[in-house]
């Protein structure tokens, strides 16, 4: 997975499971303060990651998601949250901002485990 460097086909996005999804915002998330909003966000993120896990171009998506401009908080690429991608890429993290990301990622992974 993600070994070596190669040029991805320019149209790989067309093959992505998220490309034709009726809710493209599923792969973007916020950090809500209210508990009900947090629970709903975790369910949406778990749904997005479950879709990613079945995607035929997941590895290409993750490779692009590991690029610096895509490591921002609040996005899912290749089935990983920004926290997971930043950890994988060994990028520095703002501890205050990343606490929410780390907590929500743990909740999502627990939920995805129950779905799988």
**Distance from C-alpha of 9 to C-alpha of 5, rounded to nearest angstrom:** 13
pLDDT at 1: 47
pLDDT-above-70 percentage for the chain: 91
pLDDT at 41: 92
Q: What does pTM read for this prediction? A: 0.82
| Gap between the Cα atoms of 91 and 108, Å rounded | 21
Q: How far is CA 53 from CA 22, 49, 56, 91, 107, in A?
A: 18, 6, 9, 24, 17
- Where do the structural domains in the chain lie, given as residue ranges? 28-115
Q: What is the pLDDT of residue 114?
A: 73
Residue pLDDT tens, the chain, 116 long: 454 555 667 788 889 999 889 999 999 998 888 889 989 999 999 999 999 999 999 999 999 999 988 887 789 999 999 889 988 998 877 777 777 888 888 999 998 887 65
Provide the total of helices (H) and of strands (E) in the chain, helices listed first: 4, 2
**Burial grade of 4 (CB within 10 A; 0-12, 13-18, 19 or more):** exposed
74-99 pLDDT, tens per residue?
Answer: 899 999 998 899 889 988 777 777 77
């Amino acid at each position: 997975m993600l070994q070596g460097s190669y040029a991805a086909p320019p149209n790989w996005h067309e093959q992505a499971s998220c490309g034709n999804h009726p809710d493209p915002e599923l792969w973007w998330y916020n950090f809500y303060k209210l508990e009900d909003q947090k629970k709903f966000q975790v369910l949406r993120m778990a749904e997005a990651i479950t879709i990613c896990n079945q995607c035929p171009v997941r590895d290409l998506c993750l490779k692009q998601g590991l690029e610096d401009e895509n490591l921002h908080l609040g996005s899912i690429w290749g089935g990983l949250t920004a926290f997971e991608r930043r950890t994988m890429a060994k990028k520095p993290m703002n501890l205050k901002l990343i606490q929410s990301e780390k907590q929500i990622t743990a909740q999502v992974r627990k939920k995805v485990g129950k779905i799988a």
